[in-house]
Amino acid sequence: MVNTKKVCDLCGLPVEVPGFTLKTKEGDKAFCCEGCKGIYQLLNEDQLLPDSNED
């Protein structure tokens, strides 16, 4: 069985809802929820690429 589903880049749970993503120097990251996305942002501020849709 091949599981191609994305997993959260913070906690490793399956990403059921698309949209919690960040662009970083290492590529696009996906998260399972807003909370995980927020924590990743705090921990990896220097890795984040600017998002033209925010700020």
Binding site for Zn ion (CB under 5 A): 8, 10-11, 32, 36
Task: Tell me the closest approach of the beta carbon of residue 31 to Zn ion, in angstroms.
Answer: 5
Q: Which is nearer to Zn ion, 7 or 55 (CB)?
A: 7
Q: Comparing C-alpha atoms, which of 25, 22, 27, 18 is closest to residue 39?
A: 22
Task: Tell me the closest approach of the beta carbon of residue 36 to Zn ion, in angstroms.
Answer: 3
Dist. CA 37–CA 19, nearest whole Å: 10
Task: Tell me the closest approach of the beta carbon of residue 49 to Zn ion, in angstroms.
Answer: 20
**φ, ψ (nearest 5 deg) of residue 22:** -135, 145
